[in-house]
């Protein structure tokens, strides 16, 4: 049930004003038809009596006021989800990018979704193995968690994300939904090729918006990706991993639109509703009580100037369940993956590890490794000031432990898929270098079992 | 949510939508509508509230997503204010921001919250056994207790005369099983006879009336050492807990909700994570109140308006929660309310303000932010309840604040500090060093210490205050000494200073640090706190005496007592 109006009133940036309209709905989709027959999509940002303010999804370049037609489609933005989307690549309007025809939809879903009832949620507590020691061992990812990667420009977050996507292991049907906002052509190629090369593409659905694509699509793209993920998880019972990159570009897009609308800005020019808006994305992770399937989110964001207090990482940190920090220092020291375990945090870690989930020694192990590495780091800083000769014997052992930790436990190949036992065993091997009386966080039983028994 | 029919004439009148912009809807033909009147918007009947009137044009904040709503659709008026329904059945419930039970929504709509759902806040079918206390022929007035209902094994729900009633004769009252809408009593006033049910409806934005406010004199015992011993909050007092993300705000709030010695807890999850509310829902029914041995859920009311739920309902959730809390206070209970987090509520205010195109104050927040925050905290208090018989109740308000970037100079933190009397400063440095609860002993304060000193003296003796002051002195001295150590090293300190440093370390590690996830340490009774503190100060004094007697420093620093102190924490008594 569409209504067509002739002529536009104003075009400012990506905003278009149409007058003389009737029965416009908030968030309704609109098609602008140019005299040449070209069509561009937009949606209603503000509906008032006789007037509709539209946000265009595409460039307004080449649009004119008088001869254009606005077709109000009478419906809000939906995506036609189906299993045929598997292995396919789409743009920010859900049009195929891989040259194949549009898949036939099974069900039409509103891309904004509905908030999950906290009463219906299941608290996430199943271990999800990524095969990366720095995550599995110390900042464990849990099925249904939202754990972002806080990174900086030029750091290998994309590699880490694809490695997680390739290696993630969990019981049941596993699939990956990948949403890329405003990334470069090369980056998008990298993701696609990596997934293709390893065969992971067959169980993935990709949504890609590159830096030269329309800005507004960056705002709708994560919602398309998450709606598709919800379809897979809660209609088809899949365990879905959603990777969104780069949330910073998403927030920039939001700011751009907000500024165009002349809204009162909050901190650093970002709109005041940035928190609410981000929450409407991140909170779509989770598990539903009594139902198979889950959505685990690993959003990537690059912190401007590596600053954790910048509004984007700051507000994200308030919503997500921890963060994996990527460290520039470790990266420069040639360690891959350069995960700063001391500043990273998985809030759900303790619920997802231990007996029956990983291994009974995991908790104590993690505390011990964590404390010892922290001490090693402190001593490292001290030795810079005082010189290594000023250190006690014990101190030197911790210093050595810190380096060994980085080289042997943290560092691993991009193709290396370590299971949790391997990770824990490497850790125990490293702990041998420390004086026995300093191992206060692990139980005696565990020391006997893992530290003494395995002499190889 | 329900509405009081204060202005029945306007009920059913309709306006017409002229503009939709996010949660803000503007409608015309709304002559006579009042500010904060509840309206039903559009064909789906979405709940909303009038927040601005300009002649016949009303600005409405809508509590649900407005996608698909457009100009020309109708706005139906209800003639009443946004209100909560009060009566038996509140305890153990989990509500959204406008008092819709989330379990009923689940039954009706499934796993996701869809729009336009109407569910009753309290069960209308359930029968409660009402036991009268007042007798036929009594003269009763607003606030008097007519009878009670054993709502949960922990709490008996007092059925009170509605606050507006003045001197009436009780003409009928009978024991029996009633649903909340059935009359349990009848009163006769000058205007005639009136039935009284177990249900009261109260507008959320008006504080419930009391006889008078009293000065708080008793601490809220929380079982958290750093709070009870150093920075106590009074029953009926106010506290704010600002902290950057990852500093353990939510854990602190959960700990207080679990272990505080309040009779009733109202916990508002305002714009926070959905999984956190799920955690509370899964955990609380299994945890026992250390005092009564009853499941914690039986004394708890949860309000959950998570960050992805509509923003306008988040603004209302704080008021919904505090009105429920006031209702239990009126029964003479000690109520504690936790709001996590008030920053999200302030952001909801900011969002609505921006859409109304109001002139912004600091950081885009509306200029009236300060007065709104102050008015909210002012609803706390230790009060003499309304009614003829003397009855005292209290409402303690503890608000978490989430300052962006951990920057305490931002408006929400500053305005909260101006009105709340206790400040627990959560700090990143402490959290990074895994010192939990990460409440700074240097920057936090409590303005109640003086008012509460009498109580502490009675409970724990005079020595406790002395020990506490000494401990505080040691801790602040440590901060000074640390500067020196950084320059010249620990070895350069005098014997006494070394002892101070060592004692401060013990205080930090064995007293202030408390493991929320340890079965025993999670809750520390007041007496045990005093004992622990005494043991540490005794160690310090002994060390001092030994040093005065020219004893070797090493010997002092390695006293046997140290080991015992370290074990105290996990000892059961």
DSSP helix/strand/coil, B262: coil
Between CA A401 and CA A430 the distance in angstroms is 7
Encode pLDDT of B178-237 as tens digits.
999 999 999 998 888 999 999 999 999 999 999 999 999 999 999 999 999 999 999 999
User: Is A288 an interface residue toward B (CB < 8 Å)?
Assistant: yes
How, if at all, do strands A149-151 and A322-325 pair?
Answer: parallel
What would the mean pLDDT of A89-93 be, rounded to a whole number?
A: 92
The Cα-based distances of A404 to A227, A324, A373, A431, B239 in angstroms read 44, 21, 10, 10, 46
In a domain, A354, yes or no: no
CATH number of B8-83: 2.40.30.20
Residue A438 DSSP class: G
Q: How far apart are CA A191 and CA A176, in angstroms?
A: 12
Q: What are the tokens at A163? A: 């490695």
The three-state secondary structure class of A391 is coil
pLDDT digits (tens, 9 = 90+) for A42-56: 989 888 888 999 988
Determine the average pLDDT of the residues in B236-260: 91
DSSP codes of every residue in B475-537: HHHHHHHHHHHHHH-GGGS-HHHHHHHHHHHHIIIIII---TTSTTTT---HHHHHHHHHHHH
Any idea how long chain B is?
A: 573
pLDDT number for residue B3: 45
The 8-class DSSP code of residue B299 comes to: G
Domain match, A225 and A284 both:
yes
What are the residue ranges of CATH 2.40.50.100 in chain B? 128-198
Taking CB atoms and an 8 Å cut-off, how many pairs form between chains A and B? 179
Cβ atoms of A386 and A109 within 8 Å: the answer is: no
Chain A stretch 98-127, residues whose beta carbon is closer than 8 A to a beta carbon of chain B: 110, 112-124
Per DSSP, chain A holds a count of helices (H) and strands (E) of 13, 19
Burial bucket for residue A290 (CB in 10 Å: 0-12, 13-18, 19+): exposed
For chain A, say whether B108 makes contact (Cβ under 8 Å).
no
State how far residue A28 is from chain B, nearest Cα, in angstroms.
Answer: 6
pLDDT one-digit tens code per residue, A293-343 = 999 999 999 999 999 989 999 999 999 999 999 999 999 999 999 999 999
Same domain, A67 and A85: no
Q: Which of A11-15, A361-365, B339-343, B398-402 has the lowest mean pLDDT?
A: A11-15
Selected residue with higher pLDDT from A264 and B427: B427
CA atoms within 13 A on the CB side of B498: 16
User: Among the listed ranges A194-208, B155-169, B350-364, B371-385, which one has the minimum average pLDDT value?
Assistant: B350-364
Domain B212-446 in CATH 3.40.50.2000? The answer is: no
**Residue-by-residue DSSP string for A95-144:** -BSSSSPPPPPSEEEETT--PBPGGGEE----B-B-S-HHHHTTS--BTT
CATH class for the domain made up of B461-568: mainly alpha
Chain B nearest-CA residue for A46: B21
Of A243, A190, A179, which is closest to residue A217 (Cα–Cα)?
Answer: A179
- Which CATH number is associated with domain B128-198? 2.40.50.100
Average pLDDT of span A253-273: 86
Assembly ipTM: 0.86
Question: β-strand B200-203 against B176-178: which pairing, if any?
Answer: unpaired
Residue B311 pLDDT: 84
Last residue of a domain, one of A75, A94, A128: A75
For residue B506, the distance in angstroms to the closest alpha carbon of chain A comes to 17
Q: Does A284 touch chain B (CB under 8 A)?
A: yes
User: Could you say which DSSP state residue A262 is in?
Assistant: T
Using one digit for the tens of pLDDT, what is the confidence trace for B264-321?
999 999 988 999 889 888 888 888 888 888 889 999 999 999 998 888 889 999 999 9
Give me the CATH number covering residue A292: 3.40.50.12240
CA gap A191, A213 in Å, rounded: 17
Residue B10 is predicted with a pLDDT of 59
The whole-number average pLDDT for the span B108-127 is 91
For residue B9, the model assigns a pLDDT of 54
Q: Above pLDDT 90, what percent of chain B?
A: 69
Strand duo B264-270 + B334-340: pairing: parallel
Place of tokens 């009236």: B368
Distance from CA of B101 to the nearest CA of A (A): 9
User: Residue A359: is its pLDDT beyond 50?
Assistant: yes
Q: Is the pLDDT of residue B121 over 70?
A: yes
Q: Between β-strands A15-19 and A10-12, what pairing exists: parallel, antiparallel or unpaired? A: antiparallel
Distance from CA of A40 to the nearest CA of B (A): 21
CATH of the domain at A42: 2.40.10.170
Q: What is the pTM of this model?
A: 0.91
Quote the percentage of chain A above a pLDDT of 70: 99
Triad A301, A303, A308: Cα angle to 5°: 115
pLDDT value of position B354: 84
Mean pLDDT of B464-468: 95
Among A75, A92, A119, give the residue marking a domain's end.
A75
Q: Is the pLDDT of residue B6 over 80?
A: no
Does the beta carbon of A309 lie under 8 angstroms from any beta carbon of chain B? yes
**Is B68's CB within 8 Å of A25's CB?**
yes
What pLDDT does residue A236 have?
A: 95
Asked which of A119-128, A179-188, B556-565 is least confident by mean pLDDT, the reply is: B556-565
Phi and psi at residue B222, in whole multiples of 5°? -110, -10
Same domain, A24 and A121: no
Average pLDDT, integer, range B499-507:
94
Mean of per-residue pLDDT scores for chain A: 91
Looking at chain B, the domain(s) classified CATH 1.10.1140.10 span 461-568
Angle of CA points B559, B560, B566, to nearest 5°: 105
Question: Of A28, A53, A75, at which residue does a domain stop?
Answer: A75
Looking at beta carbons, which residues of chain A come within 8 Å of B350? 266, 272
B32 contact A CB<8A: no
Q: Is residue A356 part of a domain?
A: no
Q: What is the pLDDT of residues B431-447, one digit of tens each?
A: 877 788 999 999 999 99
pLDDT tens per residue, range B517-557: 888 899 999 999 999 999 999 999 999 999 999 988 888 88
Q: Does A320 share its domain with A370? A: no
Taking the Cβ of residue B56 and every Cβ of chain A, the question of whether any pair is shorter than 8 Å is answered with no
Number of domains in chain A: 3
Same-domain pairing of A239 and A269: yes
Better-predicted residue by pLDDT, B572 or A377: A377
Residue B572 pLDDT? 67
Q: What does the DSSP 8-state code read for residue B226?
A: I
Residues A102 and A141 in one domain: yes
Average pLDDT estimate for B56-65:
90
**Cβ pair A120, A289 in contact under 8 A:** yes
pLDDT reading at B243 higher than 70: yes
Q: Do B246 and A345 touch (CB under 8 A)?
A: yes
Q: What is the extent of the structural domain holding A67?
A: 3-75
Least confident of A196-210, B78-92, B130-144, B285-299: B285-299
Q: How many CB atoms lie within 10 A of CB A367?
A: 15
Domain assignment present for residue A244? The answer is: yes
* A13 shares a domain with A118: no
Position B356 scores a pLDDT of 84
Asked if residue A357 belongs to a domain, the reply is no
User: In this structure, is residue A381 part of a structural domain?
Assistant: yes
Q: Do A27 and B67 touch (CB under 8 A)?
A: yes
Q: Where are the alpha helices (DSSP H) in B13-100?
A: none
Return the closest-CA partner of residue B62 out of B45, B79, B46: B46
Nearest CA in chain A to B274: A118
pLDDT of residue B1: 46
Residue with tokens 């079982």: B223
Q: Based on the domain organization, do A51 and A151 belong to the same domain?
A: no
The partner residue sitting opposite B364, judged by closest CB among A124, A272, A345, is A272
Write the CB contacts of A211 (distance below 8 Å, at least 6 apart in sequence).
A182, A183, A184, A185, A249
| Residue A441: predicted pLDDT | 80
- If you average pLDDT over every residue of chain B, what do you get? 91
Q: Residue B404 above 70 pLDDT?
A: yes
């Amino acid at each position: 049930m569409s209504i067509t109006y002739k002529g536009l009133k104003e075009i400012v940036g990506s905003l278009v004003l149409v007058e003389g309209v009737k029965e416009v709905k908030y968030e309704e989709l609109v098609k602008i038809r140019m005299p040449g027959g070209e069509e561009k999509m937009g949606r209603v940002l503000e509906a008032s009596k006789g007037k509709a303010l539209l946000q265009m999804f595409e460039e307004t370049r080449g649009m004119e006021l008088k001869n254009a037609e606005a077709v109000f489609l009478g419906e809000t933005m939906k995506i036609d989800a189906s299993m045929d989307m598997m292995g396919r690549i789409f743009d920010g309007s859900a049009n195929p990018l891989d040259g194949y025809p549009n898949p036939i939809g099974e069900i039409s879903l509103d891309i904004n979704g509905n908030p999950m009832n906290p009463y219906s949620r299941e608290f996430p507590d199943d271990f999800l193995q990524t095969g990366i020691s720095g995550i599995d061992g110390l900042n464990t990812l849990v099925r249904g968690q939202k754990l972002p990667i806080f990174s900086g420009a030029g750091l290998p977050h994309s590699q880490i994300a694809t490695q997680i996507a390739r290696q993630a292991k969990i019981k049941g049907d596993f699939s990956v939904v990948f949403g890329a906002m405003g990334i470069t052509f090369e980056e998008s190629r990298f993701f696609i090729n990596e997934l293709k090369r390893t065969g992971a593409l067959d169980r993935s659905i990709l949504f890609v918006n590159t830096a030269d694509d329309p800005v507004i699509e960056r705002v709708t793209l994560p919602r398309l990706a998450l709606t598709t993920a919800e379809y897979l998880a809660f209609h088809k019972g899949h365990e879905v991993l959603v990777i969104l990159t780069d949330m910073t570009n998403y927030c920039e897009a939001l700011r751009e639109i907000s500024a165009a609308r002349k809204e009162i800005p909050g901190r650093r020019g970002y709109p005041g509703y940035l928190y609410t808006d981000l929450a409407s994305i991140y909170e779509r992770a989770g598990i539903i009580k009594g139902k198979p399937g889950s959505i685990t989110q690993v959003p990537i964001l690059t912190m401007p100037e590596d600053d954790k207090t910048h509004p984007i990482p700051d507000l994200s940190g308030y919503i997500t369940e921890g963060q994996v920090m990527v460290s520039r220092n470790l990266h420069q020291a040639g360690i891959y993956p350069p995960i700063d375990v001391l500043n990273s945090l998985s809030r759900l870690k303790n619920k997802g590890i231990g007996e029956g989930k990983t291994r009974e020694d995991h908790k104590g192990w993690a505390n011990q490794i964590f404390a010892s590495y922290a001490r090693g780091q402190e001593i490292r800083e001290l030795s810079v000031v005082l010189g290594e000769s000023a250190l006690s014997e014990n101190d030197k052992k911790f210093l050595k432990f810190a380096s060994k930790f980085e080289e042997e436990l943290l560092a691993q190949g991009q193709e290396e898929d370590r299971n949790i036992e391997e990770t824990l065993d490497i850790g125990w091997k490293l702990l041998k270098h420390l004086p026995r009386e300093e191992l206060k966080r692990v139980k005696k039983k565990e020391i006997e079992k893992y530290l003494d028994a395995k002499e190889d | 949510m329900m509405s009081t029919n204060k202005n029945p004439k306007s009920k059913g009148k309709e306006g017409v939508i002229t503009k939709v912009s996010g949660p803000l809807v503007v409608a015309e033909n709304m002559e006579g509508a009042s500010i904060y009147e509840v309206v039903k918007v559009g064909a789906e009947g979405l709940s909303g509230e009038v927040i601005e009137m300009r002649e016949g044009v009303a600005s409405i904040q809508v509590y649900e997503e407005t996608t698909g709503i457009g100009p020309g659709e109708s706005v139906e008026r209800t003639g009443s204010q946004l209100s909560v329904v009060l009566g038996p059945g509140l305890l153990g419930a989990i509500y959204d921001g406008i008092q819709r039970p989330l379990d009923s929504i689940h039954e009706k709509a499934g796993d996701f919250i869809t729009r336009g759902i109407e569910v009753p806040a309290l069960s209308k079918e359930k029968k409660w056994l009402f036991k009268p206390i007042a007798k036929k022929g009594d003269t009763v007035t607003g606030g008097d207790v007519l009878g009670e209902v054993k709502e949960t094994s922990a709490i008996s729900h007092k059925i009170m005369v509605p606050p507006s009633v003045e001197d009436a004769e009780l003409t009928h009252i009978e024991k029996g099983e009633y649903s909340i809408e059935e009359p349990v009593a009848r009163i006769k006033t000058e205007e005639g006879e009136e039935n009284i049910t177990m249900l009261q409806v109260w507008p959320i934005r008006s504080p419930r009336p009391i006889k008078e406010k009293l000065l708080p004199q008793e601490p809220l015992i929380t079982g958290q050492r750093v709070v009870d011993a150093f920075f106590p909050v009074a029953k009926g007092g106010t506290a704010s807990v600002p902290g950057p993300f990852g500093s353990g705000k939510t854990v602190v709030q959960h700990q207080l909700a679990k272990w505080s010695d309040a009779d009733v807890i109202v916990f508002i999850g305002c714009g926070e994570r959905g999984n956190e509310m799920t955690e509370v829902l899964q955990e609380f029914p299994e945890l026992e109140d250390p005092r009564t041995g009853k499941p914690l859920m039986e004394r708890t009311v949860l309000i959950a308006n998570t960050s992805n739920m509509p923003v306008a309902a988040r603004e209302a959730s704080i008021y919904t929660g505090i009105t429920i809390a006031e209702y239990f206070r009126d029964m003479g209970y000690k109520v504690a309310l936790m709001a996590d987090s008030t920053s999200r509520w302030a952001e909801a205010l900011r969002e609505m303000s921006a859409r109304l195109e109001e002139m912004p104050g600091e950081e885009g927040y509306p200029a009236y932010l300060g007065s709104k925050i102050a008015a909210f905290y002012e609803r706390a208090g230790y009060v003499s309840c309304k009614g003829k018989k003397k009855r005292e109740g209290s409402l303690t308000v503890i608000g978490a604040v989430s300052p962006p970037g951990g920057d305490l100079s931002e408006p929400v933190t500053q305005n909260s500090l101006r009105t709340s009397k206790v400040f627990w400063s959560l700090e990143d440095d402490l959290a990074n060093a895994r010192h939990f609860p990460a409440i700074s002993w240097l920057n936090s304060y409590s303005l109640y210490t003086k008012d509460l000193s009498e109580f502490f003296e009675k409970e724990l003796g005079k020595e406790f205050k002395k020990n506490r002051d000494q401990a505080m002195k040691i801790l602040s001295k440590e901060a000074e000494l640390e500067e020196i150590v950084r320059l010249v090293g620990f070895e350069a300190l005098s014997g006494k200073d070394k002892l101070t440093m060592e004692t401060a370390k013990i205080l930090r590690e064995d007293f202030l640090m408390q493991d929320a996830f340890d079965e025993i340490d999670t809750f520390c009774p007041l007496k045990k706190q005093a004992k622990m503190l005494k043991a540490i100060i005794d160690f310090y004094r002994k060390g001092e005496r030994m040093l005065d007697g020219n004893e070797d420093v090493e010997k002092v620093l390695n006293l046997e007592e140290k080991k015992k102190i370290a074990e105290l924490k996990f000892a059961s008594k």
